[in-house]
Amino acid sequence: MRRPTPLLGAALSALVLSTALTTVPARAHAGRPPGIEHCTATACHFDVPPGTYDVTVRLGAATASGTRVTGETRRSLLPETAVPAGEHVTRSFTVDVRTPEGEPAGPDGTPGLDLALGGFAPALDAIRVTPARHARRLLLIGDSTVCDQPAAPYAGWGQQLPRYLRQGLSVANHADSGESTVSYLQDPRLWATVQPLIRPGDLVLVQLAHNDKTTDEATYRANLATLVAGIRDRGGEPALVTPVVRRWFNADGTLDNDTALLVNGLGVDHPAVIRQVAATEHVPLIDLTAKTRALVESLGPEASKALYLYNEKRDNTHTSVHGATVFAALVRDELLARHLVPEGRVRAG
């Protein structure tokens, strides 16, 4: 994302930034709130080091507005929020800032925190960014159906999950396109880099299966157990996630038992193995295969196209922004149902 030029939109008359987070002395902005030069009407950039930050925004203007906030590599941080003319609302969220800012094997991206404002009439009236003192992190380990996809029309459910979380919960998405349990453990940019980042109390969600096309069952099972043990060694709390289904239908309107439901060429039923490992290792299970199967079959062959990139790419595996958002909501519901996150930290929409 390009760093915004220091232009001020009309809606930014009350911008506030914690002076601890700007390298520009407050005296350089006599008569103006410190940090005001970091935002335009549609974007903000803050020169902060890697870490976890609480962001509070005040939205609204003299006319009716609708504002959504994305950050870093296309992460959805705040859903579009409508505000009537002349009114203001305050919303807060917590964001992870790191390098690389997106996929671990991808480019570094822009240093610091980048935010983009969208919606039918974006109106940012004020913003405050401070280091998060008491946030809990959700780390994600996964593949292209989970990761922070760098370009449209692709999106991973982990990229959309932050929009459902309030201040106090952050998503550190370390999923990477094309990865299997084998490659994630072997690539030094992945597990060897991610594991040391895990802190006591972090919740670590693992969804790897789509690319284990040639992994035998014993190896797949052992790899999952290795990840679970490695998360626990760091004081993290592992949770296993079965993979999202692929959109491959039988003639009777049900999903194909092999391709759609992630049974590989060696006959390894990935969701079944994940369920077994979760039970054996006493790990919480988010059965996203079951949830996405029920949803996709209920929509049927035609309506379910919108969840995937079928209309754009004839792709029945990767999700659209809409599909990733819908699947992220299923993950949110499962996090709540299994008491993995507190209800007060979660948004309904």
Summarised one tens digit per residue, pLDDT across range 83-121 is 999 999 999 999 999 999 999 999 999 999 999 999 999
- Three-state DSSP at 150 gives coil
In Å, how far are 51, 174, 198, 200, 226 from 233, measured between CA atoms? Answer: 22, 18, 9, 9, 10
Determine which helix (DSSP H) or strand (DSSP E) holds 312, and give its type and residue range: helix 310-313
Q: What is the pLDDT of residues 41-71, one digit of tens each?
A: 899 999 999 999 999 999 999 999 999 999 9
Burial label for 282, CB within 10 Å (0-12, 13-18, 19+), is exposed
Confidence of residue 270 (pLDDT cuts 50, 70, 90): very high
Domain ranges of the chain: 10-131, 136-345
What span, in angstroms and rounded, lies between the C-alpha atoms of 90 and 261?
42
Whole-number mean pLDDT of the chain?
90
pLDDT of residue 38: 78
pTM: 0.90
Short-list 187, 163, 173, 203, CA closest to 102:
173
Q: Residue 145: phi, psi to the nearest 5? A: -80, -5
Can you point out the beta strands (E) in 177-270? Answer: 203-207, 237-241
Q: Does domain 136-345 have CATH number 3.40.50.1110?
A: yes
**Is residue 284 predicted with pLDDT exceeding 90?**
yes
**Is residue 349 predicted with pLDDT exceeding 90?**
no
Whether the ω angle into residue 150 lies within 30 degrees of 0, i.e. cis, is: no
What average pLDDT score do residues 132-143 get?
A: 96
More confident: 39 or 286 = 286
**Is residue 6 predicted with pLDDT exceeding 80?**
no
Domain 10-131, second-level architecture: Sandwich (2.60)
Q: What is the pLDDT of residues 229-263, one digit of tens each?
A: 999 999 999 999 999 999 999 999 999 999 999 99
**Is residue 17 predicted with pLDDT exceeding 70?**
no
**Is residue 320 predicted with pLDDT exceeding 70?**
yes
Give the contacts of 323 (CB within 8 A, at least 6 positions apart): 155, 306, 307, 308
Yes or no: say if 281 and 228 are a contact pair by the CB < 8 Å rule: yes
pLDDT of residue 185: 98
Yes or no: say if 76 and 325 are a contact pair by the CB < 8 Å rule: yes
